[in-house]
Amino acid sequence: MKKKWQKKCKSRTTVFEVLKPLPPDAILGIKELFSRDRDPNKVDLSVGVYQDEKGLTPVPKAVRLAEEQVIQAQTTKTYVAIAGNAEFNHQMELQLFGSDHRALCDGRISTVQTPGGSGGLSVAAEIICRAQPDAKIWLSDPTWPNHKPLLSLPGLKLQQYPYYDYVNHKISFEKMLSTIKTLGSGDVVVLHGCCHNPCGADLSSDQWGILAELFGQRGITPLIDLAYQGLSEGLEEDVYGIRLMAESLPEMIVVASCSKNFGLYRERVGAISIVSKDRKQTAATLSNASNIARGIYSMPPDHGAAIVASIFCEEELRKLWVRELGEMRERINELRRLLVNKLSERELSQDFSFIANERGMFSFLGISRPQVIRLREEFHVYLVESSRINMAGINQSNVDYVSDAIAGVL
């Protein structure tokens, strides 16, 4: 029996009638396939979260202790300011730029707390569009897939520049430079601060220097996405490029996430820091960023940011966090070496030594899409069809099985 609204709407088009089902997210769709697999030897190397030796994503001890303090100290759950937790924002500036950085001392940096790095990218896209509606956003090829929908949402035009050499497994720096040399004022180039997702190939200090000089000459604005500070070479080393750019250029944008290095994935903790040419411009960018944030999500979540601020502000908690972060970093780098050694033992025709030289949680295996599908269907090893793997999904108990599976599809 038809309901009344169905009879009334029979001759009209409803609002959502034109929508068609979309394909599942490329990464989360694989996670769903993995969850339905009943094979006891299955291995998930797809989703980008850190995992320990037991395959769990732990809550760091520093985070647990700080969370207890936050809960005990809080007397209200009312809204925080539009720009978020002021102490968190200040500490993030210190973490990113350093307490004695000239741009910070000159009052050229403004920071707004955001719901994760994704929230920061959304605010970045909107403020770029507000300031330069005709701006072009240049993304590395390859880049994190979510960069495209987040940065194109306001209507900005997206382009790509060469970045990764899939054959030789290194940065195509000369090709990258050739493209960037054609850009100019009104162009925004997105750079990965460290631990490039998805390829794991990071810019060297010398390459950062060349880019900083070129950006200055061409009037290009960098937008640096920093999702993995501390997981490449170290907390200070991983922001070398950011500090150099902020020293060399009149303006830039940094979007930072605390999901990975604090294990606060579901708390959505991030920030956008904008470097302006002078203190007066800083006030304008802060007011605009806050106005944009108000229009997108109104107020940022408080819990995770309060935890991070507490860790930054208490010496013992900070020391504990730095130690735990170092252990995560060292484990990932050791897993890279372990996988390379295991594959080398199998005397394969394909060279995988490049994996040990890359950084962060991700690398491309460099195998074909049919081989990736065979890994999944024949060996129950799940990875993204681009052959990107999450190194943290490997552990002592599955590395031989994974290595045998890779050998089995070559």
Place of tokens 């507490």: 310
What pLDDT sits at residue 52? 92
Place 373 in a pLDDT band, splitting at 50, 70 and 90.
Answer: very high
What pLDDT sits at residue 250? 96
Place 27 in a pLDDT band, splitting at 50, 70 and 90.
Answer: confident
Distances (CA, A) of 231 to 239, 262, 316, 368, 399: 11, 11, 21, 28, 21
Q: Which residue is catalytic, options 44, 187, 202, 225?
A: 225
Rounded CA separation 261/258 (Å): 6
What pLDDT sits at residue 186? 85
What pLDDT sits at residue 13? 73
Place 48 in a pLDDT band, splitting at 50, 70 and 90.
Answer: confident
Place 15 in a pLDDT band, splitting at 50, 70 and 90.
Answer: confident
Q: Is 225 a catalytic residue?
A: yes
Rounded CA separation 270/133 (Å): 25
Q: Is 260 a catalytic residue?
A: yes
What pLDDT sits at residue 26? 78
Q: Provide the 3-class DSSP secondary structure of residue 44.
A: strand
The overall average pLDDT reported for the chain is 94
Q: Which residue is catalytic, options 144, 202, 208, 238?
A: 144
Q: Which residue is catalytic, options 44, 260, 302, 321?
A: 260
Rounded CA separation 389/178 (Å): 29
Mind listing the domains of the chain with CATH numbers? 24-58+328-409 (3.90.1150.10), 79-313 (3.40.640.10)
Q: Is 319 a catalytic residue?
A: no
Token couple for 330: 């060292």
